[in-house]
Amino acid sequence: MSFVKRAVGRLVHRGWTYVREAAAISPAAPGGYRFRSMGEGVCLSFPQGAIFGEQWIEIGPHTLVGERVSISAGMGPGVDLGPDSIVRIGRGCSIGRGSHIVGHQSIDIGDDVFTGPYVYITDQNHVYDDPDIPIGRQWPRNKPVSIGSGSWIGTGAIILPGTRIGRQSVVAGGAVVRGEFPDHSVIAGVPAKIVRRHSPDLGWHSPSAARLTSPLPADPRTLSEHESRTA
């Protein structure tokens, strides 16, 4: 019996390996031709999540997309979204398993961006303009999202509409991010804020350190103005 179980296990393992390799989406696979562009060496691992609007999705060379990742452009299949790309993923990226990239206007992910699993990135938000109408029936709003090259997005982070993250930045796991963040930022929390930065003059420092090192004005009469500016 143990011999039979081992033999069956090997067959199942080999079969699953074959299915995963055969069903992965790559430039040479039939599914790859549906995308606006898909660079050399791209692989969307099987099983994939929800993928639609491929005509408005670009994926750069040598990018790896993990299992059960959803990438979508628009509200659903069959919608004309115009002449421009909606979702752009750069070269050499790695998108962690179970993540969602949900684009409606513009999501731009730079080169060499890595994410942990279960990251959610969207450029659309529900609104609550009318308290008498169900929120799900109110027309949503879109704002572009961009993530700078070389950045790392931690497990379970949520990137909300209107977010702009600079190059070589880190988003901590579980952070809920909205707003604009400069290059070389470490971003954490709910809501997310900068907890650390790197600059040529100070190296790594907290945001408060940058304020403390601001020079005091020569004229004492402008001190209160300086304090309010650095508070």
- Known catalytic residues are 126
Count CA within 13 A, CB hemisphere, residue 221.
Answer: 0
Q: CB 148: neighbour CB atoms within 10 A?
A: 23
Task: Tell me which DSSP letter residue 18 carries.
Answer: H
Write down the residue that tokens 């409606």 correspond to.
Answer: 104
CA distances from 36 to 57, 103, 149 (A): 6, 14, 21
CB neighbour class for 26 (10 Å; exposed up to 12, middle 13-18, buried from 19) = middle
Bridge partners, residue 141, by sequence: 125
Helix or strand run (H / E) with residue 220: none
**C-beta separation of 85 from 54 below 8 A:** no
**Residue 132 CA to its chain's centroid (Å):** 33
